[in-house]
Amino acid sequence: NAGVTQTPKFRVLKTGQSMTLLCAQDMNHEYMYWYRQDPGMGLRLIHYSVGEGTTAKGEVPDGYNVSRLKKQNFLLGLESAAPSQTSVYFCASMRTLGETQYFGPGTRLLVL
């Protein structure tokens, strides 16, 4: 099993450009999450999903959209990138409520 994978690993964007980050898991997990990690800020939850077709806002959702059309995939979109969105983005999945989360390797995004 590959676990949780993220695409791409690294990306440079110009302000105003759009992009989609893809997260895929092969563990048949119900719950999926998108976090961003900035120096000194720990992990902050952007959006999450409790099952196929569902999405919900986390702590810092502004400027991002998500979709979970298939159970194994969770997409994070930036419609108009801003320098403040420069960060490392992590996806995670969880089988059921209260269990451990499995993290992907991260996507480094630089917005110029």
Partner 1 sequence: SQQGEEDPQALSIQEGENATMNCSYKTSINNLQWYRQNSGRGLVHLILIRSNEREKHSGRLRVTLDTSKKSSSLLITASRAADTASYFCATHSGYSTLTFGKGTMLLVSP
> Segment contacting partner 1 (CB under 8 A): 12-20, 52-60, 67-75, 79-87?
52-60
Residue 40 interacting with partner 1 (CB under 8 A): yes
Q: Is the dihedral of CA 73, 34, 78, 37 positive or negative?
A: negative
Interacting residue with partner 1 among 81, 92, 109, 111 (CB under 8 A):
92
Q: List the end-to-end C-alpha distance of the chain, in Å, as a whole number.
A: 36
Residue 1 interacting with partner 1 (CB under 8 A): no
Interacting residue with partner 1 among 2, 14, 28, 97 (CB under 8 A):
97
Q: Omega before 39 cis (within 30°)?
A: no
Q: With contacts defined by CB under 8 A, how many residues of the chain interact with partner 1?
A: 26
Residue 102 interacting with partner 1 (CB under 8 A): yes
**Any residues with CB less than 8 A from the CB of 57 and at least 6 apart, and which?**
47
Where residue 16 falls (left for φ over 0; alpha for ψ -120 to 50; beta otherwise) is left
Q: Which residues bind partner 1 (CB under 8 A)?
A: 4, 31, 33, 35, 40-43, 45, 48, 50, 56, 58-59, 90, 92, 97-106
